[in-house]
Structure 1
Amino acid sequence: MTTRKALGRGLDALIPPKREEAKEAGDFEKIENVPVDQIVASRYQPRIVFNEEAIKELANSIKEKGVIQPIIVAKKHNGYELVAGERRWRAVRSLGQKTIPAIIKVVRDSDALELALIENIQRENLNPIEEANAFLRLMKQRAFTQEELAKNVGKSRPAVANALRLLKLPDKIKDDLADGLLTIGHAKAILALDTDPERLKLRDQIINSAMSVRETEQNARSVTKKKPQPVDIFLEKVRIDLERKLASKVAIKPRAGKRGVINIHYTSVDDLNRIIELIG
C-alpha cells in the first residue's frame, strides 16, 4: 500500500525537497556522486526521441551551473539503472564528466515503468505517441483500468482515453505526430473517419495544404456526411410492403430512441383520397 501512495504522488515521492527546505524539515536525503560510466539507460524509458540540440543546450547549462537537480538511479548488481533524469545523464556524459549527482533508490522492476512515465509526463518530455504507448504498456503491466491509470499518472480519464485512441491511427500518421508535423487536434479530427485510406488521404491534404485543425474538422465532417447510412433490414422490408400496398412511394426515417417518421408521397388530391381510403 505504501508504494501505491508514493506513486500516486509522482516524483514528489522520489525527488527530495530543496536543500534549504529539507534542512528546515529535518529530512535531507543523501546525494552521491555516481560514476557516469556505471549507469545504464532505463529499460522502461517511455521516451524514444531525444532532441540532440536540446541536450547540447542542457550540457552548456550544466557546464556553467552544474547539475541542479540530481538524477535518480536504482542499484543493480554491476552498476546503476536510470529511473529519472536521462537527459541530464546524456548531457553530463557528452561533457566527458566522470560523475553525476544522483539519488540511489530501491525500485522494483514493476514500478520502474510507472516512475519513468510519471517523470516524463510531469516534465512534459514525451511526444503524443510515446505517451500513448507508455500508457498502454503500463495498463498491461499493472492490469490497470483507464480510471486507475489516470489516477496514478495524474491525468483525467478522458485525457488517457484520448491518448490511447491515437494508437488506432496508421503508422504514417503516428510518425507525423511524433515528429510534430501534425497536432493532437489534427489527429482527433482524422480519427472521426472510419478507414485508414480515408485517414491517410486527409493526412496528405493536411500536410500539402497546411490545413488548420478547424479546416481538418470541417473536411472530416464533409466526408462522413457523404457516406450512406446503414440500412435497417426490418424497416426496409416495412417500407417495401407499404409501397406495394399503397402503390405510392414511401420513406421511413428513424430518429433517436424508437421514434421515426413515415412519409407517403401522393401525386394529386384524388391520389391522396385513394391512399386515405386504403389506410382507413
Structure 2
Amino acid sequence: MAAVLASDMEQLNSDLREAALIDDVDLIETLIKQGADVNAGNQFGKTALMRAIESGSELSVDVLLAHNADVNARTVAGCTPLTFAAEFGYDVITKLLLDRGASVNSRTRSGWNALMIAARQGYLDVVLRLIAAGSNVDNVDNEGETALLGAVKKGFIDVAKALLSANANPNIGNQRGVTPLMLATQRGDVEMATLLLAHKADINQRDLSGATALIYASESEQIDITRLLLQHSADIDLQDNAGETALIQAVFRGNAEIVALLLAQGADASKVDQAGYTALEMATTKGNAEIIDLLNANVKK
C-alpha cells in the first residue's frame, strides 16, 4: 500500500509541475488540495515554481508563492527560481521572487548569480532590479567573469552603463586576465571602450600573457580602437610575455594602416621579441613591401 501511495504522490507532484508549466492555475490549486508537494522537484531538481517561471507564467508563480513555494530551492545544477527568471528576462517575476525573500546573490554550480545571467542576456530591467536589491556587481563565476565582462562580451552597452553606475570594477579580469577593456578592444567596440575608459579602466593592464588592450587592438586589426587607446595615452611600446609590441603584432598581421598609425605616434621599431625579431625583420620575413617601406622610412627620420 505504501508503494502505491508513494507512486500516487509522485504522480501528483509531476502533474503539479506540468500544470505550472502550462499555466493552469485551477489545476494547480486542485492538485495542491489533493496533497501535491509544492516544492517537489523532478530528476533535475526543478520544482513547480521553476517550471512556471520557465514558461513566464506570472499568475502561476503568484499562486505557487501563495502556497509557500520555496523561492530559494535549487536544482541539481544549483539553479534557483531567481536565476531562472534572470535567464528569461522576466522582470515582474523577478520582483515577485525578491519580494518573497529570494537570495539575490545565490550562485549556480557554475558560479553564476542572477545578475551575471541577466547581464549576459542583455536584460536591462532585470539587471537594474537586481542591482537595486543589493546584488554584488563584482561577483565572479568559476571562470573569473563578472557581470560586466559578460555584458561587454555581448556588446550590451546599456547594461554595462548600469553596472558601472553601480560601481562595478572595470579592471577585474577573468582567469586569463582578460579585462572588459580588452574584450571591447577585441570586438572593435569603440563606444564600449570609451565608456570603460571614462570609468577608469586601466588602459595598460596586462592579461596573463602580458598583452595590453593596445596589443589586443593591433592583433585584432582594430584601427579605430587603436587610435582611441593612443588618444588616451596607452603605453605604445609595452611588450607581452613573448616580447611582442603592438607594432610587431601589426606587422605580423600585415596591417599597414595600423603600422603607419603606431609609427606616427612614436612606436619604437627597434624593440625585439623573444624570437629575436624587430618589426622590420618581421616584415622582411613576411615579405610585405608596403610595411617594409614604412619601417625603413621611419628609420631614416
TM-score (norm. length: structure 2)? 0.28
Bigger-Rg structure (1/2): 1
